[in-house]
């Protein structure tokens, strides 16, 4: 089995995810997600994150295997709303997007076990690139 690709995370995103995991408890899916992210992450200050990296509250345009385009905002679980295109970082797709770079493809498994692949076409908005380091 191949090792998951290294990703970038901001210090603030990591701290917020760690705090959410602590509130959820050690046996929660969020705790496992945060552990996995830490193992793969290059953690950097918000003002040092590359502009082509998906961070929390980024708006990202993706294209699936069938060529369908979608635009999502990556959010914390309590803000998720599929009808408003707000994707939880705890969803399989959200977890795969966090820390990935524009122009790259990601793979994830849906809850029913189906495999999916998405290409990150562009990041329409990244808070850190806009000088919003606390969003």
Q: Return the structure tokens found at 133.
A: 């380091």
Q: What is the pLDDT of residue 135?
A: 63
Q: Return the structure tokens found at 94.
A: 């959200």
Q: Which of 71, 62, 69 is nearest to 118 (CA)?
A: 62
For 32, the enclosing helix (H) or strand (E) is helix 29-40
Q: What is the pLDDT of residue 132?
A: 82
Helix (H, G, I), strand (E, B) or coil at 127: coil
Helix (H, G, I), strand (E, B) or coil at 90: coil
Question: Counting runs of H as helices and runs of E as strands, what totals does the chain give?
Answer: 3, 7
**Helix boundaries (H) for 3-57:** 11-24, 29-40
Q: Return the structure tokens found at 109.
A: 């498994």
Tens-digit pLDDT string for the chain (135 aa): 445 567 888 899 888 888 887 887 777 777 787 788 788 888 889 899 999 999 999 999 999 989 999 999 999 888 999 999 999 988 889 989 999 999 999 999 988 999 999 999 999 999 998 888 676
> At the topology level of CATH, where does 7-127 sit?
Chitinase A; domain 3 (3.10.50)
């Amino acid at each position: 089995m191949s090792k998951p690709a290294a990703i970038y995370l901001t210090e603030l995103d990591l701290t917020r995810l760690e705090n959410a995991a602590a509130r959820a408890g050690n046996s929660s899916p969020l705790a496992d997600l945060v552990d996995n992210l830490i193992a793969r992450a290059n953690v950097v200050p918000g003002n040092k994150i590359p502009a082509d990296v998906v961070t929390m509250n980024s708006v990202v345009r993706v294209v699936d295997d069938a060529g369908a385009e979608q635009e999502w905002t990556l959010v914390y679980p309590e803000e998720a709303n599929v009808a408003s295109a707000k994707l939880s970082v705890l969803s399989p797709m959200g977890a795969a997007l966090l820390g990935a770079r524009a122009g790259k493809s990601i793979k994830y498994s849906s809850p029913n076990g189906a495999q999916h692949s998405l290409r990150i076409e562009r990041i329409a908005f990244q808070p850190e690139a806009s000088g919003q380091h606390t969003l």
